[in-house]
């Protein structure tokens, strides 16, 4: 393995992506506690720390950026491709927000004194 193909985290810091095209995504996933489990020149994979089978995978190839998005509360994932990092990142960020909203644990029981 060459020295530039994998990343190791600095002390006290979450790992950053080897491919700097994924930097915006790293900030979002790290801020929500997701784990970076694959980190190489052509791609990254972040997994939900609570439900490890839910993963966001982004893979760069010469002709496209492929993204794999978990469907909330399901065992199914959706895959699509983009021509550039910006469009792929914007899409992943939007779907990550959707995922978080759909999987948010709502409190049970009365919310107000009048309930």
* 3-class secondary structure, 61: strand
Q: Which of 44, 96, 91, 50 is nearest to 72 (CA)?
A: 96
Q: How many domains does the chain have?
A: 1
What is the span of the domain harbouring residue 46?
A: 20-100
Residue 114 pLDDT class (50, 70, 90 cuts): low
pTM score: 0.77
Q: What angle do CA 15, 57, 92 make, to 5 degrees?
A: 95
pLDDT given for residue 1 in this prediction:
37
Question: Which range (6-10, 36-40, 53-57, 63-67) has the least confidence?
Answer: 6-10
In a domain, 84, yes or no: yes
Q: What is the token pair recorded at 63?
A: 């002709």
Q: What is the token pair recorded at 91?
A: 């899409």
Separation between Cα atoms, residue 15 and residue 114, nearest integer Å: 47
Separation between Cα atoms, residue 35 and residue 52, nearest integer Å: 9
């Amino acid at each position: 393995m060459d020295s530039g193909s994998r990343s190791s985290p600095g002390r006290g810091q979450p790992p950053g992506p080897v491919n700097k095209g994924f930097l915006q995504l790293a900030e979002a996933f790290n801020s929500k506690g997701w784990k970076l489990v694959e980190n190489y020149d052509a791609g990254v994979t972040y997994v939900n720390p609570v439900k490890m089978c839910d993963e966001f995978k982004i893979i760069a190839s010469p002709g496209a950026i492929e993204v794999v998005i978990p469907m909330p509360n399901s065992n199914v994932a959706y895959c699509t491709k983009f021509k550039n990092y910006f469009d792929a990142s914007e899409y992943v960020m939007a779907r990550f927000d959707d995922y978080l909203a759909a999987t948010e644990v709502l409190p049970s029981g009365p919310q107000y004194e009048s309930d």
